[in-house]
Amino acid sequence: NPSQANLFIFENSDGQAGSWIQHLVYQGDEHHDGARVVDIDGDGDLDIISIGWGHDRVLLYENKATGGGGQTAPVIITQPHDVTVATGQVATFSVVASGSPPLQYQWQKNGVDINGATSSVYVTPPTTIADNGSKYKCLVSNAFGNAQSNEATLTVVQGGTGRVTRNLVSLYTFEEGTGNIIHDVSGVGSPLNLEINNLSSVSWDSNGLNILSPCQINSTGAAEKIIDSCMATNEITIEAWLQTGNLNQTGPARIVTLSEDYYNRNFTVGQSSSDYDVRLRTTTTGNNGNNPSLTVMNMVSANLCHLVYVRDVSGQAQIYVDGVQKANATIAGDFSNWSSAFKFGLANEISGGRPWLGKFYLVAIYNGALTGTEINQNYLSGPHILDTGKNRQDKPIVSDGIQLFQNYPNPFNPVTSITFNIDRPDHVSVVILDVRGAVVDTLVAKYLPAGAHQIKWDAHNFASGIYFYRLETNHTVITKKLLLVK
């Protein structure tokens, strides 16, 4: 009789066998499997989740006891994660552990204790290229034992080096702002431009292309330069900066594809609800490229995303999301069974019927397998190939006297200084851009005399991350990168 069911908690009061106190915490409902035990509030003790069959509610019992009677050695609950930064940036590692207090922490770098690194969070000094590949772990101890976290790897890429162009075949930066043609700006071979069949289904803005409703965005003919060059190397890297329109897209919905229809492709990057799925045709995976495909689960979100699929000549394939490897598998075979007739397309299957809605910021195809370091370099470079000092075509030649210096300090929290020189009186604009290229703050917008100027940016209301600052006069535009770390 569900109305007569009781839920009991048995408390072990002193850590000894047989010392149990019974607590009746609920009466009058039937409970699925009695109850689930979990640390709801992350304080290292056990709380109760009770799921009732007789109604649509979940009961949560929070254990607010302090001190406790048990004697529990530390247990690592959340392991530190791999981190990638550019030179000069700091890296943050953290660990979550449970156990009888007090817990003591000691971080190690390459197996050696780090002086003063004795909390659950460790922030490195500004990194150098010599730190690349370093291993960090944390030792947690108390009076009853100790635990050691997994090692996390620090990857440091050379700052200021821009995007990787090795083995680049096609590149789309979505900077057109208007029209039905998306230009291949790779500069490699004949441009593989793409044509939008219905402009009412899309909208351009200053930093990308929004796909609002189903449409076709395809090459007009076979994507010969992608097909031929990848067949020659048996390697490929597919890179995209994108933002999904919703998490209900299935099929999978085609994000980037080189294919013919539902069942025949050379490769496809797709979205299935909250998962990314990549199908690659080889001599072992079949014409649909899904035996097997490579899937990374629960990584689709409404946020801007850097998504990379890489497969090398040995068959090793990985998916990276925001610079971090999230899936890997062996995709055996070679590309000798690729079709030479398939078109390249975005946001739908070539034959239609598998639309993807969202926003494109950048898409690139390579006929080689980028390394993890190169992928991280592109991630840290952001979704835009920003103007870093080139003259505007409709403006006079830039005078050597116009300079924009690197902000100091960098990384910073929350205030940094920006210095620039102008060689003549001019109207000057200095703005802050986020990684999407959107202006998030204006620091200067006025007429200034010639000479050196210094301004400050107070970023206490902004989230940690990569930003850009842009100096614009009537003569030039210069952009530099900065890093806010909180």
Domains 75-157 and 403-484 share a fold: yes
Domain boundaries, the chain: 2-61, 75-157, 168-381, 403-484
Q: What is the pLDDT of residue 129?
A: 85
The sign of the dihedral angle between the CA atoms of 435, 437, 441, 442 is positive
- Which residues are within 8 A (CB) of 101 and not within 5 positions of it... i.e. 6 or more apart? 44, 142
Q: Average pLDDT of the chain? A: 85
Which of 24-33, 137-146, 451-460 is least confident?
Answer: 24-33
Task: Show the CA angle centred on residue 393, arms to residues 388 and 396, nearest 5°.
Answer: 90
pLDDT tens for residues 358-412? 999 999 999 999 999 899 888 877 786 554 444 333 333 344 467 888 888 877 8
Candidates 2.60.40.10, 2.60.40.1930, 1.10.3720.10, 2.40.50.70; correct CATH number of 403-484?
2.60.40.1930
Strand extents, DSSP E, 220-274: 236-244, 253-261, 264-272
Answer yes or no: are the C-beta atoms of 430 and 456 closer than 8 Å: no
Domain 75-157: homologous superfamily in CATH: Immunoglobulins (2.60.40.10)
Distances (CA, A) of 189 to 132, 146, 224: 35, 60, 10
pLDDT for the residue numbered 479: 83
Question: What letter would DSSP give residue 233?
Answer: H
Instruction: Tokens for 435, please give them.
Output: 């990684």
Tens-digit pLDDT profile for residues 245-291: 999 999 999 999 999 999 999 999 999 999 999 999 999 999 999 99
The answer to whether the Cα torsion of 422, 446, 398, 362 is positive or negative is positive
Into which CATH architecture does domain 168-381 fall?
A: Sandwich (2.60)
pLDDT digits (tens, 9 = 90+) for 75-130: 998 899 888 877 777 888 999 998 888 999 999 999 999 999 999 999 999 888 89
